[in-house]
Amino acid sequence: MARVTVEDCIDKVENRFELVLLASHRARMISSGSPLTVDRDNDKNPVVALREVAEQTVNPEDLKEDLIHSLQKYVEVDEPEPDAVPMVPSQSQGGTEVNQVDDTDIEFDRMSEEDLLRGLEGLVPPERSDDI
């Protein structure tokens, strides 16, 4: 039984914190009945998980995906888009006129920033009600 260290695993999983997450997830998988990929040699589950990572008998990317999947509370399901709403018939198709408005002579109010600020300063806040 060789002693496994973080240095044995760090070239497979570069981030030490990610290594701890992956090894602990794999140890939980082992304790829930997942088959071992290395001999146990009277080691506990976290040590077996680290040995599996060090000997590359498990893929760290697969462990990462499985860990993410196990932590998800909501899984989005791609559902087909509803059918598009049919277009409103135009005049050339023999339909009726819908909302035909002549907007050529619409004028917009222009207000300077000073006028806007003066108007806002003149506003009075509503009376506070004690009913709430």
Are 50 and 27 in contact, with CB atoms under 8 Å apart? Answer: no
> Rounded to an integer, what distance in angstroms lies between the CA atom of residue 26 and that of residue 63?
7
Q: How far apart are the first and last CA of the chain?
A: 71
Where are the domains positioned within the chain? 6-71
The residue assigned the tokens 């040995």 is 51
Least confident of 32-36, 94-98, 122-126: 94-98
pLDDT for 58-108, tens place per residue? 999 999 999 999 888 876 777 777 776 666 666 555 555 556 767 777 777
Q: What is the pLDDT of residue 2?
A: 62
**What are the residues whose beta carbons fall under 8 Å from the beta carbon of 128, sequence distance 6 or more?**
none
CATH of 6-71, one of 3.30.9.10, 3.40.50.2300, 3.90.940.10, 1.20.120.350: 3.90.940.10
Q: What is the pLDDT of residue 82?
A: 73
